[in-house]
Structure 1
Amino acid sequence: MSETTSETEKLPLDSWHRAKGARMVPFAGYEMPIQYAGASGGGIVAEHDWTRNSASLFDVSHMGQLIVSGEGAAEALEQLVPGAITSLKPGRVRYTLLLNDEGGILDDLMITNVTSWVEGDEEAGEEGGWGEPTYYLVVNGATKWDDIAHLREHLPDEVTLTHLEDRALIALQGPNAATALGRVMRGVPDRLTFMQSLDYQFGEWDLRITRAGYTGEDGFEISVASEFAEPLANRLCAEIEVRPAGLGARDSLRLEAGLPLYGHDLDTETDPVSADLMFALTKKRREAGGWKGHEALVERMAGGAETRRVGLVVEGRQPAREGARVFHGDKDVGRITSGGFSPTLGHPVAMAYVARDYAELDTKLEIEVRGKRLSAVVAPMPFVPHKYYRGEK
């Protein structure tokens, strides 16, 4: 998880993490907690298991938070991403991709329509209506400066891009996340299902709360002014269900959930077809085009990519890590992009890009690790079922 950088910034919660016993490492340009010691956590596996069974607080303030606003904002964004933005209703969230002209993935991101309702003046006979089109973007921390430069270059002058540099982002994840949050902010979880978002005023805290996350569990991401990040973290961790968790558990949880990590499973050399992210390309827009990278991807969307991102279940207990080569007999057919031991399943799992002739489920493969061959089989993802809350059945 560590990325060495010459200079690292501190998160708004830096001192809070250290007081909780966090081991800090450089990641995406920031000093970030990889795990906690003692009663606050107990290590990566303990934090992983606590998230799966209760609720954990993750500091993801390294992520970029942006606002794109102005007339034509949705149409301008649709020229850069393949997701449908013009049809995205206020309060709704969409996962999509920022692509280059060749269809390579510059980043994966979440876009929320945060356009506000403006009340009319009844005495003047004026009706209310939706205000200036406004969209909230959450982009990856390691790519946010490149994303900002890309957006500034390609968005028209009448559309405004604002970097919310003074905001922290806290993720509350796990099956008890809604219970804990509902005790702190009564009624809020009941107003949201998966991929919905709302503005919420909690005393002097101006929050943006989204029901989503990166663990495969139910949960919430809460944007808050940096100056209020610590009291918010303290308030949430005061609930018996909640403990802090670090990057290590976040990585093992997202791997079990089959969620790709930019810079590892996704980059400019991968595309939505090979990455098995076709769901991020709205069906009508696949055919209509009008977005950056469409022309380069037309043939691949119709016939499939030469390589595909797949899940692998690995025999034994030795994990296969990023960079390990994948073989079918003597033939080199791919490479691992993410891998590790699954605490939930009790055996190693991995993601890999393999040649499409070897990407079918149940295909038996081998992974070369330290001169040895580990047996593996192509398996469906997620490895651990998602538990997103989509409303009462």
Structure 2
Amino acid sequence: MTLETDAPLLSTPLTDLHRELGARLVPFAGYEMPVQFPAGIIAEHTHTREAAGLFDVSHMGQAYLVGPDHETTARALERIVPSDILNLKHGRQRYSVLLNDEGGIIDDLMVTRPVSEAADGRLFLVVNASRKAVDYDFIRAALPDNVRLEPIEDRALIAVQGPQAAAVVAAHAPQAAELAFMAAAPMEFDGIACHVSRCGYTGEDGYELSVPAGAAEAIARALLADERVQPIGLGARDSLRLEAGLCLYGHDIDETTSPVEGAITFVLQKRRKEAGDFPGADRILSELEAGPKRVRVGLRPEGRAPAREGAEIRDASGTVVGTVTSGGFAPTLGAPIAMGYVDAAHAAPGTALVLVVRGRELPATVADMPFVPQRYYRKPKS
């Protein structure tokens, strides 16, 4: 999971708190990040599924795209993403991908349109830590003169995830309870101005709080003072997102994979598909119509041994038909799970395959994803 670099490691506003809490810190995307706390990865994973986990995701890139009005800014971003940003409503966010000319994924990201009409012309972006520099250069190169990218360097990002997340966050920011899934709004957390979105990377209900860097530790301590909240490291974050069937950039999606191959076609809204005016449209629309040659699938290995990234996937005759891109032990299921790419002929759920792990052949079956049902909050209809 770690991404090693020769450059000095960066810290987040919560690094000192992580040390105080006994975290094991590792290099990740150029930052010193907690991989686990004393309770251990399985305990952290289980606590998030049962109560609420606090994640430091301040290494992620936060930025504003700023133009004279929403249409101008949205259309500028639509030059490089396949999603409908123009019709994104106030206070809503959308998961999307940056595309190269071949339809490959440069990064996945979250795009939010502010609640306030006074802020129209601004879009809030959150990108992956390991791709920040690449993304910012790519976005800037695609922008017209009247739209600019403004990276935000003085903010932290804290995620609170789990079935108790709403009650925990609402105790400090009551408006948070009213947010629907994939909605966002400015609000105060114990009097501190924050930007709060109801989303996450675990498959559970939860929030991401963009907060002033100088207030991050106070906010984290206030959350951790609640007995329902425990600090969670990168190890459990990875096992949680894997159970939820969510992609990790650089592993399950990259510049060679299209959204169709990656099984994330929900990033393409109808208007954009009909217009076909995004990078790599010829490839992507062809794959939508005829089917891709390969596709990301879930895998359930037999036994207890996990299959890790890079493991060969073979059919019953021994022919290599794909590669594992993510794999590990699923604490919720008490069994190993994996994701990988296989050719289309072997992608149907229930297909019997073989994973090669340390020279051993392990039987496995193509499985539906998510492996664990997602429990995102669905606001009751009035």
* TM-score, with length taken from structure 2: 0.96
Q: Deviations over 1:160-182 (max 9, x none)?
A: 21000111000000000011111
Q: Deviations over 1:313-352 (max 9, x none)?
A: 1110000000000000211000000000100001100001
2:60 aligns with one of 63, 68, 85 = 63
Distance 1:284 1:207 in 2: 33
CA contact (8 A) 1:181 1:188 kept: no
- Share of identical aligned residues, percent? 51
Unaligned ranges ≥5, structure 2: none
Distance 1:45 1:202 in 2: 30
Runs of 4+ residues deviating >3 angstroms: none
1:160 aligns with one of 148, 152, 161 = 148
Distance 1:391 1:203 in 2: 25
2:272 aligns with one of 285, 289, 293 = 285
In structure 1, the residue matched to 2:20 is 19
CA contact (8 A) 1:115 1:134 kept: no
Label 1:202 to 1:49 Cα distance change in 2 as closer, same or farther (>3 A). closer
- Return the offset for 1:381: 0.2
In structure 2, the residue matched to 1:105 is 105
In structure 1, the residue matched to 2:232 is 245
1:363 equivalent in alignment to 2:357: no
The AA in structure 1 aligned to 2:122 is T
CA contact (8 A) 1:314 1:377 kept: yes
CA contact (8 A) 1:55 1:175 kept: yes
Distance 1:194 1:217 in 2: 11
CA contact (8 A) 1:97 1:105 kept: yes
CA contact (8 A) 1:209 1:223 kept: yes
CA contact (8 A) 1:366 1:374 kept: yes
- The CA RMSD over aligned residues, in Å, is 1.1
Unaligned ranges ≥5, structure 1: 119-130
Distance 2:147 2:3 in 1: 34
1:343 equivalent in alignment to 2:331: yes
Alignment of 1:140-151 (within 5 A): 140-151=128-139
Any idea what SS the aligned residue of 2:19 has? helix
In structure 2, the residue matched to 1:125 is none
Alignment of 1:132-281 (within 5 A): 132-185=120-173, 187-202=174-189, 205-281=192-268
Which of 74-83 and 49-58 deviates more? 74-83
The AA in structure 2 aligned to 1:112 is T
Distance 2:109 2:141 in 1: 18
CA contact (8 A) 1:115 1:135 kept: no
1:327 equivalent in alignment to 2:296: no
Any idea what SS the aligned residue of 1:188 has? helix
The AA in structure 2 aligned to 1:94 is R
Distance 1:203 1:34 in 2: 29
**How many residues are treated as equivalent by the alignment?**
376
Q: Deviations over 1:140-170 (max 9, x none)?
A: 0000110000011011110021000111000
2:47 aligns with one of 14, 36, 50 = 50
The AA in structure 2 aligned to 1:141 is A
* TM-score, with length taken from structure 1: 0.94
1:294 equivalent in alignment to 2:291: no
